[in-house]
Structure 1
């Protein structure tokens, strides 16, 4: 019977007291900072060091992903903004008016990721509008990655503090 209780604790939907939520949060921000404009950042570093065919591959991959992002933004941008605004608003209302912890957790992940998406589309537009030298391209990708990492750190910090507050409140209030 003890293993059944442990199993049920692992799949508990109370987000901030659930280990799986924190693992998912770490994976989300690790992935977001690794895949800049859909390009793995280790490829950016390798292309910067080696040049040649690796650099050509990087340029091709960036071109493909920039065109893909801009196509999606141009073709469905208004719809995507409307849907995301609706979803984030619903999560905010459910989370902070009705105090649904799962909605709070999703909002604390979704809102910063929306900002990252907007910054990525903006960077893709800048790359598409003007031809980039290799040095400019590396600089633009490094800056975007740095901003994504800062947003991720602030998001994890905010989520951690909010999670501690929620867990302390649940502990005081008794569930």
Structure 2
């Protein structure tokens, strides 16, 4: 076996039969669930327990990240939305119409993350509009995390079912 063959075996483009794809999927959703609007969840819990410095740090980080998210949405929102729709449509067509498994995998990673991004913009807008602080802020961040986890669970379920279908139909397992 030569070096090129070994490299292509390690970086297998049949994504659903590759362990690395499933590791990326798990890390992606674990990280997304942990970082709520760019704020680590343990910081929210520390503030909720009443740590004075934790409360100040949380409010500062939430303010900074909400302003950042809303600035990006305001300034480049339309252009970014068009680009994301173009990329997702391209991946969807390449993957599900033309049968490219790598494009299917990227679409199944990217589309749910787009939903989380829209949810983040909505939550950041709500926090800023209502000037949420204290318990109201913790509750809103908790709802955002629950929504993110719901999208993640649904995404993992759909991806796993599709991956099993692809693997069984291409005969990779047997």
Q: Please classify the TM superposition score into its range, dividing by the shorter chain length.
A: over 0.9
User: Which consecutive segments of 4 or more residues in structure 1 shift more than 4 A?
Assistant: 1-8
Alpha-carbon distance in structure 2 between the residues aligned to 1:2 and 1:152: 39
Alpha-carbon distance in structure 1 between the residues aligned to 2:133 and 2:68: 21
Match of 1:30 in 2: 30
SS at match of 1:99: coil
Match of 2:75 in 1: 75
8 Å Cα contact 2:59/2:133 also seen in 1: no
Match of 1:119 in 2: 119
Structure 2 regions of 5+ residues with no counterpart? none
Q: Does the C-alpha gap of structure 1 residues 85 and 4 become closer, same or farther in structure 2, counting only changes over 3 Å?
A: closer
Deviation (angstroms), 1:53:
1.2
Alpha-carbon distance in structure 2 between the residues aligned to 1:136 and 1:72: 25
Summarize deviations over 1:131-164 as a string: whole Å, max 9, x none: 2131100000000001101110110010000000
Size of the aligned set, in residue pairs, is 173
CA RMSD of aligned residues (A): 1.9
Structure 1 regions of 5+ residues with no counterpart? none
Match of 1:52 in 2: 52
TM-score by length of 1: 0.93
Deviation (angstroms), 1:47:
1.1
8 Å Cα contact 1:10/1:19 also seen in 2: no
SS at match of 1:50: coil
SS at match of 2:148: helix
Match of 1:11 in 2: 11
Matched, 1:62 2:62: yes
Match of 2:94 in 1: 94
Between stretches 2-11 and 134-143, larger displacement belongs to: 2-11
TM-score by length of 2: 0.94
